[in-house]
Amino acid sequence: MCWCTCCVRSIPRLPSSARQAIAIGPPVRKGPLAVTHDHRTRRFQVEALTRVEGEGGLIVEIHDGQVRDVRLRIFEPPRFFESFLRGRGYAELPDITARICGICPVAYQMSSCQAIEALCGVSLDPPLRDLRHLLYCGEWIESHVLHIHLLHAPDFLGYESSIAMAADHRADLERGLRLKKIGNHIVEVVGGRAVHPVNVRVGGFYRAPAMERMRELADELRWAVDAAVDVARWVATFTIPEHELPDHTQLVALRHPTEYPMLGDRLVSTGSDGVGIDIGPDEYSHHFTEEQVEHSTALHGRMLAGGDYLVGPLARFVLNADHLAPRAAALAAEVGLTPDERNPFRSIVVRAIETVHACEVAYTIADGYCVPGRPAVEVTPRAGAGCGWTEAPRGLLWHRYELSADGTITDARIVPPTSQNQPVIEHDLLHLVEHSLHLDDAALEALCEQAVRNYDPCISCATHFLDMRVVRS
C-alpha cells in the first residue's frame, strides 16, 4: 500500500471541500462551468484540472483592476509520516520514507540514509556512492521525462492532454516513454524494483547488482543519451512566455565541489543582495522555517531572514551550470540557457538539460561498473541528531532525525521541495497576473495553470486536481 504525499508534508487539517479527482487525461468538470455576475463581481470555478499531481485549488481575486490576492490552496489529508517514524528502528527509515512519494521514493530514501549516516559517522565506500548516484539518475530521468511529455508539453503545444497531443506528436511521446522506461529500469536494477525500491539500506545496499544487469543498462543508456539530447532540442523549440521571477526571490540549491548536485555537500543561494548563504545540513533550521497558513494543509517554507525562495531545476542550474556533464553543458549553451536565467517557464528546458546530464552520468557509472567488495558499510547507532539532504527532481529535500542509543527514532522532521516552493508559486502567480490583466478569465486561467506546472508541484500521487476560482470586482 502506498500512502503518498508526493513531496508535500500535510498537517492534520482537512477541509470539507476536499475532493477526489482523476488521473492523467483531459480536463473533466463535475457539472457545468459555474459563472455568476453582478454589477461589480464576476466569479467562476473550474472543478477539475489534470496534469498536476495532487489535490488543491487556486484562487485569484481582482478588485478595480488590481490583484488583491492569490492563494494556492492544498487540502490533502494528513499522513503523519513523521509521527509514524517515532519509535521505529533507524533501519526501517528507507522503506517507510519511500512511501511518502510514488514518483520520487529514491529522494526520500537517500536523504533519510544520509541523515543517519551523518549521525553515526559513516562514510560510504566510493563504489557504493556511485551506485547511489546511479540510482538517483534513474529517478531524475523517469520523473523529468514524465513531467516534460505527459504533464507540461501539452500547455506549450496547445493541447488539453498528452493523449490529444499524441495525434500530432506520436514519435516524440514514444521517445519520451522509452526514456522513462529506461529510468525505471535503472531504479529496478539498483533498487530492487521500479517503484518504492527495496534494496536500499542505511550504509549502502542489501546486495550489489550483477555485472550482466549493468551491461544491459549501459547498452540502453547509449541510446538514452542521444534521445535525451533530441528531447532537449525539441523542447527548446516551444514558444516560452516572457516572464521573470520577482527580484526578491532567492534561488537555493545544493552545491558539490565537482558534481552537478544530486548528493550535494553544501547549500547555497543567489542572495537577495548578491551575497547568498553557504551552509551545511545541520545549519538548515538556522536559516529556514515552515509556517502554517489558513488556506493550505501543507506548510509553507520561509527564509528566517525574510522572503521566499525557489528550489528545483531552475535554481540548480543557475547555481551549478558549471558542473553539468559535457553534452548537457554544450546543449545548454546551444539552446540559450545561461546562469542568470530567471524565467520559470523555461524550467521545462532546464529539466530536459538535466535529463541529458543524468543519462550521461548514468552511462559512465554503468559502463565502468565493477561489483563492489561489500554491498554496505556497517552502521553502529548512537544517540543524537543527524541531518541529511539531497536534490530530489523537484528540489531540495531535507531530513532530520533524533535517535536513542539503541537506534530508535525519537523525533523526525522532513521538509519536501513543494512545501518550500508554495510561497514563491503564489508570489510568482501574483506577479504574473498583475502583468496579464488584459486577458479574459479563460485565458488568464490557462496561463495560471501553465505557470503552476512550471514548478511540477508534487502534491499527491493518488489524485490529480486543481480547482481554480477567479474573482473580479
What the block records as the C-alpha cell of 437 is: 490583466
Nearest residue to 425 via CA among 326, 341, 347? 347
What the block records as the C-alpha cell of 67 is: 490583484
Which parts of 112-221 are beta strand (E)?
Answer: 200-201, 204-205
Which has more confidence, 367 or 426?
367
pLDDT at 212: 98
Residue 14 has pLDDT above 90, yes or no: no
Q: How far is CA 317 from CA 197, 310, 352, in A?
A: 28, 12, 11
pLDDT at 272: 66
195 and 105 in a common domain = yes
226 and 167 in a common domain = yes
Q: Which amino acid is at 189?
A: V
Which parts of 84-123 are beta strand (E)?
Answer: none
Domain contains 123: yes
User: pLDDT tier at 54 (50, 70, 90 boundaries)?
Assistant: low
Distance of CA 418 to the CA centre of its chain: 7
The whole-model pTM stands at 0.89
User: pLDDT tier at 240 (50, 70, 90 boundaries)?
Assistant: very high
Contacts of 305 (CB under 8 A, 6+ apart): 287
459 and 389 in a common domain = no
pLDDT at 37: 37
Which has more confidence, 79 or 446?
446
Q: Which amino acid is at 383?
A: A
49 and 105 in a common domain = no
Nearest residue to 180 via CA among 144, 135, 231, 154? 144
Residue for grid cell 538548515: 284
Radius of gyration of the chain (CA): 22
Domain contains 14: no
146 and 67 in a common domain = no
CATH number, domain containing residue 153: 1.10.645.10
What the block records as the C-alpha cell of 187 is: 531504479
Residue 46 has pLDDT above 60, yes or no: no
- Angle between helical axes of 313-320 and 347-367 (0-180°, round to 10): 70
pLDDT in tens, 131-164: 999 999 999 999 999 999 999 999 999 999 999 9
Q: Which domain holds residue 330?
A: 250-342
